[in-house]
Each structure stands twice: as structure tokens, then as C-alpha cells.
């Protein structure tokens, strides 16, 4: 794992913690009202997962393979050309280069991947950076409610901040102990374990903070805004 520069710099660490706590306070209540926290009878089968949801959401079938879904084009981005812009309604827009991303706190997590086309891949070990940490760096304005995430392939997908700020929403560069393959969105993609996988942009290049909801690529074409697997919430 790369060195965590913030632990070498107490002021910077304090600022990161302050910014995170501010976001946490702002979204705690909304987050507590999201389906995964409130549904009394989430639909699915299998033992409860770590969020108390049945492991296999309704209508899903477990696969050990990892199918590839894209728009017919898999962009190739060399690490020295790669960048991620985080902008929109924020106090401090940033452009990260690969080294900047690697210098941020790296998180390991294992989570499930539910595709709207009815397959689920369970227990994928990931390494990456928390969306929440990136949000804390840019300091979203108090009027922000959503983000739009854009891929290098022209893809886009929208998310509410109360979902995006959940601690298992990561921007990952490593899966199954290997650098994330290009076909799965390498060098960096987002994952949204508590929502259908189309909410996680592969080949992510930009995160835009918004003050209202807008529709992304599939959402404009009739996919659900909210994409909640345990409500069979696929299409709108
Ligand atoms: N940039 C980009 N991200 C994307 C897509 C895409 O076409 N382009 N497809 C989405 C869909 S529909 C799914 S199910 C997952 C698939 O990820 P995988 O190909 O790694 O299985 O990525 C999502 N993110
Ligand atoms: Mo999908």
C-alpha cells in the first residue's frame, strides 16, 4: 500500500477529518432514511449481508464469472495521461493525477456486485479510495444533492449524495488482488455495492457535484433513478 501522506502531516489530517465530519453531519439523517437502512422487508434470498439485506437480491442469480458490460468501446488510458476531475458546485475543485490518487488513504473492502441484467458477483475484494474522502477534499457547497459521474467512454450516471457517501462506495484500482482490468474499467472505476452496478462508472474521469438531480446515460433511457436491488428497482 502507498504511504498515507495525511498521517505524516497532522494539519492536513485534521482538515480531512473536519471536512468528513461536516459531510457526515450534513447527510447522516438522509442516509439513515435510504432503503438499505429502512426497508423492513428487503426482497431477496440468503443470509443477511453486513447491511442486514438478504445476500441475493430479488431476481438475481449468483455467478462466479465476471461478465463485461460496456457501450462497445473500452478506452485505454495510460497512467501518465490519466486524470480525474472533481468539480461542479464545490468550494475547491481538483484535478488528480495518478500519483495524487495513490497518495490518498487506500481502503480495502470486500463487497458484492449486482448487475441489473440479473447476475450478482459476491465477495469481490477491492482496493481504492472512498468517494467520501474525495468529496471531503473538494468541499461540496451546502446546496449540493447529487453527483454525475462521467467515464472516458462517454458514459454517465447520476447518484444522490446520501448513496454516494456510503462508506462502501469506492473508486477502485484493484480487484481480486490484481490491477483492475481495462475491460472492467481500469485504471479506475467506481463501485456502488448497495445499488445496481450501472451506478458505478468504469474508466471514471469526472465527478460533478450538482444542486439537483440529472439523468445519466441509462437513466435517460428508462433505467431507475434510484437503482435499489432489494426493491427490484430496475426501470422507471
Ligand atoms: N463508463 C462506463 N461505466 C459503466 C458502464 C459502461 O458502459 N461505461 N456499464 C455499467 C453497467 S450497465 C454495469 S452492469 C457495470 C458492469 O461492469 P463490468 O463490465 O465490470 O461487469 O458497469 C457500469 N459502468
Ligand atoms: Mo448493467
Residue 8: its pLDDT value, please? 62
Q: Ligand 1 centre from 210 Cα, in Å? A: 22
Q: Tell whether 50 is covered by a domain.
A: yes
* 199 φ, ψ (degrees, to nearest 5): -75, -5
Tell me how far the alpha carbon of residue 61 lies from the centroid of ligand 1, in angstroms: 18
Question: Is 154 part of a structural domain of the chain?
Answer: yes
Could you tell me if residue 152 is inside a domain? yes
Q: Please name which ligand lies nearest the alpha carbon of 124.
A: 1
Ligand nearest to the CA of 70: 1
The three-state (H, E, C) secondary structure of 84-132, written as one string: EEEEECECCCEEEEHHHHHHCCCEEEEEEEECCCCEEEEEEEEEEEEHH
Pairing of strands 204-210, 83-88: parallel
Q: What pLDDT does residue 10 have? A: 78
203 lines ligand 1 (CB under 6 A): yes
What atom in ligand 1 is closest to the CA of residue 68? 19
Domain span at residue 181? 5-231
Write out pLDDT tens, residues 66-76: 999 999 999 99
Mutation pick for ligand 1 pocket among 68, 70, 220 (CB with most ligand atoms within 8 Å): 70
State the DSSP H helix or E strand holding residue 220, giving kind and residue range, or none if neither.
helix 217-220
8 Å CB contact between 230 and 36:
yes
pLDDT for the residue 11: 84
Residue 38 predicted with pLDDT over 90: no
Query: Quick check: 166 pLDDT over 60?
Result: yes
* 148 within some domain: yes
Q: Tell me, using a 6 A CB cutoff, whether residue 67 lines ligand 1.
A: yes
Q: Look at residue 2 and tell me whether its pLDDT is greater than 60.
A: no
CATH code at position 112: 3.90.420.10
Give pLDDT, residue 1: 38
Q: Report the pLDDT averaged over residues 56-60.
A: 97
Mean pLDDT on 137-156: 97
Quickly state the pLDDT bin for 145 (edges 50, 70, 90).
very high
Average pLDDT on 212-231 reads 96
Helix (H, G, I), strand (E, B) or coil at 49: coil
What is the pTM assigned to this prediction? 0.94
Question: What does the pLDDT average to over 154-169?
Answer: 97
pLDDT above 50 for 79: yes
Query: How many domains does the chain contain in total?
Result: 1
With a cut of 60, say whether residue 5 has pLDDT above it.
Answer: no
Cβ of 192 less than 6 Å from ligand 1: no
Residue 185: CB partners within 8 Å, gap ≥ 6? 151, 200, 201, 202, 203, 204
Establish whether residue 201 lines the binding site of ligand 1, counting it when its CB lies within 6 angstroms of any ligand atom.
Answer: yes
How far is the C-alpha of 41 from the C-alpha of 38, rounded, in Å? 9
- 71 Cβ inside 6 Å of ligand 1: yes
236 occurs within a structural domain: no
Amino acid at each position: 500500500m502507498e504511504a498515507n501522506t495525511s498521517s505524516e502531516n497532522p494539519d492536513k489530517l485534521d482538515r480531512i477529518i473536519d471536512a468528513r465530519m461536516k459531510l457526515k453531519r450534513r447527510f447522516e439523517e438522509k442516509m439513515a432514511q435510504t432503503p438499505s437502512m429502512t426497508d423492513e422487508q428487503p426482497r431477496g434470498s440468503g443470509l443477511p449481508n453486513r447491511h442486514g439485506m438478504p445476500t441475493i437480491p430479488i431476481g438475481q442469480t449468483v455467478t462466479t464469472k465476471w461478465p463485461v458490460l460496456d457501450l462497445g468501446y473500452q478506452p485505454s488510458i495510460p497512467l501518465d495521461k490519466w486524470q480525474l476531475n472533481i468539480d461542479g458546485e464545490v468550494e475547491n475543485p481538483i484535478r488528480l493525477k495518478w500519483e495524487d490518487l495513490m497518495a490518498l488513504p487506500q481502503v480495502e473492502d470486500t463487497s458484492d456486485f449486482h448487475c441489473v441484467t440479473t447476475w450478482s458477483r459476491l465477495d469481490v475484494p477491492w482496493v481504492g479510495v472512498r468517494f467520501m474522502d474525495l468529496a471531503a477534499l473538494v468541499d461540496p457547497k451546502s446546496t449540493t444533492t447529487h453527483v454525475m459521474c462521467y467515464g472516458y467512454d462517454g458514459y454517465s450516471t447520476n447518484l444522490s449524495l446520501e448513496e454516494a457517501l456510503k462508506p462502501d462506495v469506492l473508486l477502485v484500482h484493484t480487484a481480486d488482488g490484481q490491477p483492475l482490468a481495462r475491460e472492467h474499467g481500469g485504471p479506475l472505476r467506481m463501485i456502488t455495492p448497495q445499488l445496481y452496478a450501472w451506478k458505478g462508472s468504469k474508466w471514471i474521469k469526472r465527478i460533478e457535484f450538482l444542486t439537483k438531480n440529472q439523468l445519466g446515460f441509462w437513466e435517460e433511457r428508462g433505467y431507475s433513478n434510484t437503482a435499489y436491488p432489494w426493491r427490484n428497482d430496475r426501470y422507471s
